[in-house]
Structure 1
Amino acid sequence: MIQRFFSSARRDFKSLSEQEILALAISSEEDDARIYLAYADGLRDSYPNSAKVFEEMAEEESTHRARLIDLHKKRFGDRIPLIRREHVRGYYERKPDWLVRPLGLEKVRAQAAEMEAQAHRFYLRAAQQCEDADTRKLLGELALAEAGHEAKAEELEAKHLPDDVREAEDSAERRQFILTYVQPGLAGLMDGSVSTLAPIFATAFATMNPWTTFLVGLAASVGAGISMGFTEVASDDGVISGRGSPIKRGLATGIMTTLGGLGHALPYLIPHFWTATIIAMIVVVIELWAIAWIQKRWMETPWNRAIFQVVLGGALVFAAGMLIGNA
């Protein structure tokens, strides 16, 4: 009873028989082939040439699976034990990132490389544990094949992804990232940083009370973030414009709007008014320069125009807040 209570549902790899090792290898190859096909499906619409690379990698995994099944039939018959990676303690797991859409090219390529490295280590370990000559030979060959998949992937990329095609796909991925995250986030940061200047500093100079100023800044920042987030979600479903998921864009806009306002509201947690105000002014300058840098880095806006737009707009709103607060 005690032994049953403390026993794990997973097996140690060392406890697996040679038949179970073959069964585990077969199920792992099946899973990896399905994952590569899922990658291909997720990339096909936006990156058709990269999708072809993963389709051929899936075919390679299916070939490995067929060789393993043939050996199992030869040694143990047609009935393959049901054993999967989740049944073995310490065995590598596959994160379900292939379910996330849209897939990122670099992330998919990196994950594929990690998959091949894990499979290589498995076959090396499995070959050491098997005594049958044919089994050790096959597992060793598969270990070499998995180790050589990086070269195979490069060969497939050279076949399906010449430099001009790869450059075009990378450019399309960067554009999608900008449309889905950078552009909405920048709009939110600008709105949160600039639009909250007037109410925060108007309250500050009208009341000379840091706590009251903080509460107004907090309310303005959170309210603006919620409003901007829902506006972004409702404005465009992304189907025709290609701007991506409205939920992701809404979150990027809402979060950055809130952060933009909180940046110069948080200093008013300091009880000394002028200390808080000076720090808040420094934060405003940093926020405006950050906005100008993002415009230059991601939106390719010339420095002089970015600085002029951001600094002029921020200065006007800040001046309005001070004038109203001192009225």
Structure 2
Amino acid sequence: MLNRFWPTSRRDFSSLSEQEILALAISSEEDDARIYLAYADGLREEYPASAKIFEEMALEEETHREMLIKMHKKRFGDTILLIRREHVKGYYERKPDWLVRPLGIEKVRAMASQMEEQAHRFYLRAAQQTKDADTRLLLGELAIAENSHHTTAVQLETEHTPHDVREIESQAEHKQFILTYVQPGLAGLMDGSVSTLAPIFAVAFATHDTWTTFLVGLAASVGAGISMGFTEVASDDGVISGRGSPIKRGLATGIMTTVGGLGHALPYLIPHFWTATAIAFAVVIIELFAITWIQNRYMETPWGRAIFQVVLGGALVFAAGMLIGNA
């Protein structure tokens, strides 16, 4: 339970040594080069010009990698530590190429833009944490290079469907809103709505006491909200990932987790058991539909998959609560 509040499976970026920062940068450049080559391969038939640009971006990532390896050899020798982005808390993640196929040009351009923006933030942060002058200079130069890549990716994204500056800024603001509020809030709503089903309905069918059921639901909802909120705050400081303030994300997660659980706990303030249960069941259906709609609207999850994931999960937890309550 405690590691939900203080996750220990990843290192804090601030705790990395300069050798570890260089090793992380090397592995990241390797991964990004492979991703760009995969994008080029997926786009070559339909968008040959864009594919060529991604090939050039991959070559430049390889150049960055070679520069980093030379610096590592100069300072720390030939043995490069095995450290990857999944080992560092708050470090940005890359979605595997096979998860985003078929590769639509708009999706790839947007992802490339995000990749370079995150890499730019990483090098800026890494340079600030480095004391060696040569290493700091190199990381600063790479930050500038990644920023120019970000500009290239934005140009790719707008080449065939140009937008004015106001709309581009609006899109950036919308993306930040999703990263800071929608994604954490959705995770909280799903956790609160689904995870509290079993204890609430187990107590309801075991006791047929609406007040006891409400108290259990209130405790489960508030407890889950606090736990999820602290977990979100502790998991990512948002500096490198670009997901925004951890406090804002933690509040969004914690509040929506609590709301998700209270939705089907509040009906048990009604003294009549079956009336309260019927209303609670209706609220559950509304909650699951709301989660499905948010996934489709903001996370671009297909309706069929969203319904299957949410409804199936909710139904299984609800059934578990009923079976345990009637045992």
TM-score by length of 1: 0.50
TM-score by length of 2: 0.50
Higher RCO (CA < 8 A, seq sep 6+): 2
